[in-house]
Amino acid sequence: MLPPTFALSVFLMAATTLLVGMLLGWAWGSAAMASALSVRSASLFAQQSQTLKSLLDPTSPIPIARQIQIHTFHGIFLDPRSSAVYGAFLFIGTFAMGALRAYLPSLTLLSVFGSIVMDVACTTGPREFLNKITIAALTPSAVLPTAQYTIPEQLIIPTTFYVAVAIGTVILIFPESLSHVWLTLLLESFWTKTLDLLRLQSETLALRPSDHEAWTKLNARGTQLRTSLVAATDAVSDQLKLIDLDTSIGRLGPADLKKINLELKSIMFRAR
């Protein structure tokens, strides 16, 4: 979703947005976990622990730890009040991330990855003590399990490694500045189509007015070129929105490129 092929400044901004989204999801998931544990019933947990202890079979070829996992995943430790809190937090958080994505499309990465981490934290919560329970703990004096606030690390740590490697890749393998990207797009998308349109106009001077078939073909080509030129102009202008983030040093800076961009529509209308 975030390949290391962008300009360095754009990639840094996108990666920062992604990581901030994951941290927000982590924070909301941790709040959900703390709230859910605060309403968990100690008496119900003790009863569930006794039930699990009675279900364990030391003579079974399945290890005790594996038996605990199986029963846990089958919901033996679920608490309705705790699950309701997780559900409420998940609903509110998902709605907020969805609204953020709808009203601020530029923060799509933040909302998507924030939702992923939040979902992991909230849906893993009812079994957050998996692999933490031992036979010694399954006694009448068992206490509530400790919240595992580090569950999202399974996603965040690999992501940070990827971002670090990707930044190195962008700098060493695919070094590219926003100015270079914009100038290349200007040449390939705008000027090429503008010159094609001007050549088409030159071709019309060599046609006879009575050659209706040739005029029809040229008109179709002209319509197609004008449409593509308008789209190219919009694409070039949109690419300039982030030019102030450019970190390169060259003859043409962001201010110069903005001046050039102001004249593009005028050139486009004259070419048409």
Per-residue pLDDT of the chain (272 residues; tens, 9 = 90+): 677 777 788 888 889 999 999 999 999 988 988 888 888 888 887 888 888 788 888 888 888 888 877 777 777 777 888 888 888 998 999 999 999 999 998 888 999 999 999 888 877 644 444 444 433 333 222 233 557 788 788 889 999 999 999 999 888 887 777 777 777 778 777 778 878 877 877 777 777 777 777 777 777 877 787 788 777 777 777 777 777 666 666 666 667 677 777 777 676 665 55
The pLDDT assigned to 10 comes to: 82
Q: How far is residue 62 from each of residues 81, 136, 185, measured CA to CA in Å?
A: 32, 19, 62
Q: What string of H, E and C letters represents the secondary structure of 48-74?
A: HHHHHHHHCCCCCCCCHHHHHHHHHHC
pTM: 0.68
Q: 31-64 burial string, b = 16+ CB within 10 Å, else e? A: bbbeebbeebeeeebbebbeebeeeeeeeeeeee
Beta-carbon contacts of 32 under 8 Å, excluding residues fewer than 6 positions away, are 85, 86, 89, 90, 93, 118, 121, 122, 125
Find, among 73, 74, 85, the residue nearest to 37 by Cα.
85
The pLDDT assigned to 96 comes to: 94
